[in-house]
Amino acid sequence: MNGLRSLLLPTLLCLGWQTAPAEHGDKETVIADIESRHAQYEQIAMKIWDYAELGYLENESSALLQETLDIEGFEIESGVAGLPTAFVASAGTGGPVIGLLAEFDALPGISQSAAPHRDIVEGKTSGHACGHHLFGTASVAAAIAVKRWLRRSSVAGTVRVYGTPAEEGGSGKVYMVRAGLFDDVDAVFTWHPSDRNDASSRRTLANRSAIFSFTGVSAHAANAPHKARSALDGVEVFNYMINMMREHVPQDTRLHYVISSGGEAPNVVPDYAEVYYYVRHPDAKTLLDIWERVSKAAEGAALGTGTTVQQEVMHGNHSFLPNESLARLVYANLLPLGGVRYSEDEQSFARKLYATLDTPEQALGSEARIQPLTPPTLHMGSTDVGDVSWIVPTGRLSAATWVPGTSAHTWQAIAAGGSGIGVKGMQFAAKGLALTIVDLYTHPIHLEEAKKEFTERRGKDFTYRALLGDRDPPLDYRK
């Protein structure tokens, strides 16, 4: 461990931070704690990988993480914010309170074995194509290591794990924010599986989604079409209007949809049809302005086709509010860890999988490096972590749990995430999170800087409003 100590000290000093000698021994112990439980955390992650439970249905996955934390002495509140699979687990005493986000939902419509070639699992219709089995497990591992360190060092502070379901389209964290579960937290950390190791803060797109349901009048499509009013016509006219709108919205806007119901038979004019829309933009206010135009287009389509329309907002997320103070701190702790290193078997696996990728952006070998720290850039995705970041300073990191060049939501992500490559990336993430949290407890100035930046970026007049409104959680949205 002396190598870690010699690397860590100059890294922190060159970034302008003062360190205490006792801290390095603390960090070495934290790393050793996580490494000693490698097999246990691998087993937990692979169980959740195999469960592959969808949003708000993650009963076994959530229970496994809660059981792991309960054994370690965490106080657990289950079913918070009206979400059966959500939980809050706390350990320690007093402040500061540092939170860790833990996700565990899978994606529908995709499955894959842990093989470096396409291998659909028969009878399985979901998979961890975004690596949330690793996400939740690493956050729990980091929290346990920090909890043990707090107890050994007699440092005041509380570490808290937020079990957050249904990130994939269900906005689980938004309901937890709306319920005030983050109001007493000083800082929160999140991470995400990726094809690279990165600590740079980033912005995301705010989004809102809704199902637009059109109702018409059915009739025989050949004998009596004049008596019918096609709900599908309403959907198609609506979609046409939105596609015309694309030319007249800000460039960072994203509009996408699927027709989720369009009738059953061509000779029956459909009296019901629905389309599911996502609308995204970096700025929440601009997003709501665009949404108003989308809603009016739906009303116009219904008027023009003699149908009626109703919309049900399904979810909505704020953009991610960057915090460069926390990004610098995370980066300083990732550098000495040095990334992920493959065994010979893992290198062979990686080469085979890499050959299946289309124009990969990262080269093999980059998994062993930390990406340079950069100013916040715009990431064109959306996440319910965004809502958390507007309530409490939020730091993030990405870890190379996938073969370099792999995109999220692909079979390649499932395959790597079910292998030793994914587990090594998960362990790397757990260490980075735990070491950074130790810094916040031992050097209060880091927390002060993060809070100051948070207040400046958010603005004095900010008032939080959930973009999904006051609707109840859609607990059946994946059924």
Taking only the tens place, the pLDDT of each residue in 98-140 is 999 999 999 999 999 999 999 999 999 999 999 999 999 999 9
What pLDDT score does 4 carry? 45
* Mean pLDDT within 25-39: 94
Q: Tokens standing for 467? A: 């973009």
What's the CATH code, domain 206-317? 3.30.70.360
Q: Is the peptide bond before 108 cis (omega within 30 degrees of 0)?
A: no
- Residue 129 near residue 413, CB atoms below 8 Å: yes
Give the pTM.
Answer: 0.92
Cα(161)–Cα(59) distance, integer angstroms: 17
Give the pLDDT mean for 189-212: 97
Q: What is the pLDDT of residues 136-162, one digit of tens each?
A: 999 999 999 999 999 999 999 999 999
From the list 199, 194, 196, the residue with the least C-alpha distance to 335 is 199
Rg of the chain over all Cα atoms, to the nearest angstrom: 24
- What's the pLDDT at 92? 97
Boundaries of every domain in the chain? 2-204+319-458, 206-317
Res 26: pLDDT:
87
* pLDDT per position as a tens digit, 420-463: 999 999 999 999 999 999 999 999 999 999 999 999 999 989 99
Q: What gap in Å lies between CA 434 and CA 191, rounded to an integer?
A: 12
Is pLDDT of 15 > 90? no
**25 pLDDT band (50/70/90 cuts)?**
confident
Q: Is the pLDDT of residue 417 over 90?
A: yes
Identity of residue 139: S
Model pLDDT, residue 24: 63
- Quickly state the pLDDT bin for 13 (edges 50, 70, 90): very low
Show the 3-state SS of the chain: CHHHHHHHHHHHHHCCCCCCHHHHHHHHHHHHHHHHCHHHHHHHHHHHHHHCCCCCCCHHHHHHHHHHHHHCCCEEEECHHHCCCCEEEEEEECCCEEEEEECCCCEECCCCCCCCCCCCCCCCCEECCCCHHHHHHHHHHHHHHHHHHHHHHCCCEEEEEEECCCCCCCCHHHHHHHCCCCCCCCEEEEEEEECCEECCCEECCEEEEEEEEEECECCECCCCHHHCECHHHHHHHHHHHHHHHHHHCCCCCEEEEEEEECCCCCCECCCEEEEEEEEEECCHHHHHHHHHHHHHHHHHHHHHHCCEEEEEEEEEECCCCCCHHHHHHHHHHHHHHCCCCCCHHHHHHHHHHHCCCCCCCCCCCHHHCECCCCCCEECCCCCCHHHHHCCCCEEEEEEECCCCCCCCCCHHHHHHHCCHHHHHHHHHHHHHHHHHHHHHHHCHHHHHHHHHHHHHHHCCCCCCCCCCCCCCCCCCCCC
Q: Would the pLDDT of 9 be above 90?
A: no
Round to whole Å and give the CA distance between 165 and 172.
Answer: 5
Alpha-carbon 191 to chain mean position: 8
Confidence of residue 5 (pLDDT cuts 50, 70, 90): very low
Provide mean pLDDT across the span 234-250. 98
Assess contact for 138 and 83: CB atoms under 8 A. Answer: no
Q: How far is CA 421 from CA 132, 190, 341, 390, in A?
A: 15, 20, 9, 33
Our CA dihedral for 29, 32, 36, 38, rounded to 10 degrees, sits at 130
State the residue for tokens 């709501």: 288
Instruction: Please name the residues in contact with 176: beta carbons below 8 A apart, sequence gap of 6 or more.
Output: 80, 81, 83, 86, 162, 164, 182
State the Cα–Cα distance between residues 146 and 160, nearest whole angstrom. 10
Q: What is the pLDDT of residue 23?
A: 60
User: Tokens in use for 83?
Assistant: 């979400």
Which CATH code is given to the segment(s) 2-204+319-458? Answer: 3.40.630.10
